[in-house]
Amino acid sequence: MNQNASFEKALTGMLPEELFLHLNLDKPFRSRQLFRWLAAGANSFDTMTNLPPALRVKWQTEEILYSTSVEQKLVDPDGTIKLQIQLADGAAVETVLLMDAAGRKTACVSCQVGCPMQCAFCQTGHIGYQRNLSASEIVEQFFHLEKHAGKLDSIVFMGMGEPMLNLDAIRKTVTILTHPEGRALSKRRITVSTCGITDGIRSLADDGPDIRLAVSLTTANETLRSELMPVTRSNPLPELKKAIAYYNETSGKRVTLEAALLAGVNTGESDADELARFAEGLNVHINLIPWNAVPGLPFTTPSGNETAKFVAMLESRQLNVTLRTHRGRSIGGACGQLGKKS
């Protein structure tokens, strides 16, 4: 089999009914058994002891269980794990295990090789774009992380790439990971983050999946945002606000607005005013993320004092704000650093 196309045939990207047809099985329960083994993290047919030996031998030579492998593992002192995942065509992506103060584990997975959005403050946007990932390549990131870190509590599509440009694969991944006969992850524990693709936000509202939405806003100043995030030129802020309002109304869910704080760029009084005006009438929560430094990019991380002042400005405008802590910075695993050579 052509290994460059193996991600299209990897069994990790199939549902029980697809496994049944693909493997030409005569008993549907066999595909469900296999699906459960995959959800449990089995990466060898030899371990699937309740399947007939003859089938396991046949599949070992004819089928592709995983199309990806872990090329490198880095561990930050704060417990963050970053895996570099080697793909069948020679490309690579990164996926990160984040752990909060309560010990909850979250998989931050990639959906594209590189990213076409070219956000000025993001490392991934500066390494170019190659292609979308298949559902199996995304699912396998989750399974690889569970193998290295134990059972995960949640997943966020916030790694390399723009999820709304690969929404079909995102939907398939969610269907696989939430399937009751498989990993059975709760949809309440799944978040997709977009830089502001309004068509994708509306599609998510109309057609699901019923998961959480985060929007990387960074600034509510149209001119500044167009400079920092070129997506603004085709998805202007008034249209983005309408799309978020539509998602609020259609899904009944709150949306998280994320802002990477850049020292002296988007942390002033006028920035707080514009953010408050953008949030007016929306059901949103604000996540502030002090910028994680990337060598060669013309920004600096705001001081603790600058950050605290901006938080106070937003709170005085009656906004719900959370200040995120830095995690995984020493291994290039923090927000905006994926693709950084560690």
280 is catalytic: no
- First-to-final CA distance of the chain: 34
122 is catalytic: no
Task: Say which of 115, 122, 195, 335 is annotated catalytic.
Answer: 335
Task: Say which of 8, 71, 94, 222 is annotated catalytic.
Answer: 94
Maximum Cα–Cα distance across the chain: 69
Q: Number of C-alpha atoms within 13 angstroms, CB side, residue 207?
A: 12
Q: Phi and psi of 268, rounded to 5°? A: -95, 180
Least Cα distance to 184 among 68, 63, 40 occurs for 40
Q: Phi and psi of 71, rounded to 5°? A: -90, -35
Per the CB < 8 A criterion, the answer to whether 190 and 204 are in contact is no
Q: CB-based burial of residue 323 (10 Å sphere; 0-12 exposed, 13-18 middle, 19+ buried)?
A: middle
Structure-derived torsion over alpha carbons of residues 38, 39, 43, 44, reported in degrees to the nearest 10: -40
The residue with tokens 């992506």 is 93
The residue with tokens 């880095």 is 74
Task: Answer whether the bond into residue 302 is a cis peptide, omega within 30°.
Answer: no
Q: Which residues 6+ apart lie within 8 Å of 294 measured at CB? A: 121, 122, 123, 126, 336, 337, 340
Q: So which residues are the catalytic ones?
A: 94, 335
